[in-house]
């Protein structure tokens, strides 16, 4: 990954360790031509890894998020960041930070924010995806819906990237592993081809 883009991504706000981010960049660069979609953008950190990989070939990155935060981002939960609450609405709003980050990264030409509820958008979605990155809600129901509704859109030989997959319960929450990773493998539609930390990369077969 080019040094300037890597430094920017590492400094960006969000939840993506540097080694997993670089693996995401590489996966996006090596995915077949066509648009990429991420579910769960938050403040734009993962977009700063995926976006630069698509710039040379001019493909778009669609960033799906309602920008109201997951359950685990709400007040009282482990991943709450109080300064992201919009005082006017009393609700989390990560869209302004996302937008600023994408602008400052120089990614506006290729990164498209799709603001709304992931499952509703997925049901209306028709464009085949060269790569799908799932990093949305980590509860059982959101994870299961992301698997059911988004993974059919991955094109043949396209890539399914899943974040926060922990085979060992001691390392983290279960749903990305149990509701997305395992069903993807068990469906016979996907084969794992790489893994970095909690980032799993599967190929559509
Ligand atoms: N990829 C980000 C982290 C994503 S955090 C990074 O690199 O930092 C998970 C995100 O999923 C949150 O921003 C939350 O708003 C979003 N999310 C959770 N459930 C959602 C839903 N049903 N529809 C849209 N976005 C959702
Ligand atoms: Mg994550």
Q: What per-residue confidence (pLDDT) applies to 74?
A: 93
Residue nearest to atom 13 of ligand 1 (CA): 42
DSSP string, 59-102: --EEEEE-SS--GGGSTTSTT--GGGEETTTTEE--HHHHHHHH
Q: Which of 41, 45, 112 has the alpha carbon at shortest distance from 70?
A: 41
Residue nearest to atom 7 of ligand 1 (CA): 46
Whether 70 lines ligand 1, by a CB cut-off of 6 Å, is yes
**Tens digits of residue pLDDT in 65-78:** 999 999 999 999 98
**Tens digits of residue pLDDT in 123-166:** 999 999 999 999 999 999 999 999 999 999 999 999 999 999 99
Whether 41 lines ligand 1, by a CB cut-off of 6 Å, is yes
Whether 101 lines ligand 1, by a CB cut-off of 6 Å, is no
Whether 6 lines ligand 1, by a CB cut-off of 6 Å, is no
Q: What per-residue confidence (pLDDT) applies to 177?
A: 98
Element (H, E) at 131: strand 129-134
CB-based burial label for 157 (10 Å; 0-12, 13-18, 19+): exposed
Instruction: Taking residues 78-85, report their average pLDDT.
Output: 93
Ligand nearest to the CA of 176: 2
Whether 142 lines ligand 1, by a CB cut-off of 6 Å, is yes
Tokens of 177: 């592993």
| Ligand 2 centroid – CA 26 distance (Å) | 17
Q: What per-residue confidence (pLDDT) applies to 149?
A: 98
Cα angle 12, 25, 103; round to 5: 40
**Tens digits of residue pLDDT in 18-63:** 999 999 999 999 999 999 999 999 999 999 999 999 999 999 999 9
Q: Best of 9, 24, 70, 132 to mutate for ligand 1, by most ligand atoms within 8 A of CB?
A: 70
Q: Cα separation of 162 and 70, whole Å?
A: 16
Q: Which of 88, 153, 150 has the alpha carbon at shortest distance from 120?
A: 150
| Confidence tier at 3 by pLDDT (50, 70, 90) | very high
| Ligand 1 centroid – CA 2 distance (Å) | 26
**Tens digits of residue pLDDT in 95-111:** 999 999 999 999 999 99
| Ligand 2 centroid – CA 164 distance (Å) | 5
Tokens of 180: 């997305």
198 three-state secondary structure: coil
pTM value is: 0.98
| Confidence tier at 14 by pLDDT (50, 70, 90) | very high
């Amino acid at each position: 990954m080019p040094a300037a883009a890597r430094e920017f991504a590492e400094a960006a706000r969000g939840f993506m360790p540097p080694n997993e981010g670089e693996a995401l960049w590489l996966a996006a660069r090596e995915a077949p031509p066509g648009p990429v979609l991420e579910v769960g953008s938050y403040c734009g950190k993962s977009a700063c890894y995926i976006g630069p990989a698509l710039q040379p070939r001019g493909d778009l990155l669609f960033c799906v998020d309602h920008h109201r935060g997951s359950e685990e981002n709400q007040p009282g939960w482990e991943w709450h960041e109080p300064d992201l609450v919009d005082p006017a609405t009393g609700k989390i709003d990560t869209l302004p930070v996302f937008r600023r980050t994408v602008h400052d990264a120089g990614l506006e030409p290729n990164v498209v924010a799709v603001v709304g509820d992931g499952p509703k958008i997925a049901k209306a979605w028709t464009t085949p995806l060269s790569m799908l990155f799932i990093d949305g809600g980590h509860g059982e129901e959101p994870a299961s819906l992301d698997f059911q509704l988004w993974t059919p859109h991955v094109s043949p030989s396209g890539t399914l990237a899943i974040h926060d997959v922990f085979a060992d319960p001691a390392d983290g929450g279960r749903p990305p592993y149990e509701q997305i990773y395992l069903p993807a493998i068990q469906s016979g539609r996907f084969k794992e081809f790489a893994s970095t930390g909690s980032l799993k990369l599967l190929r559509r077969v």
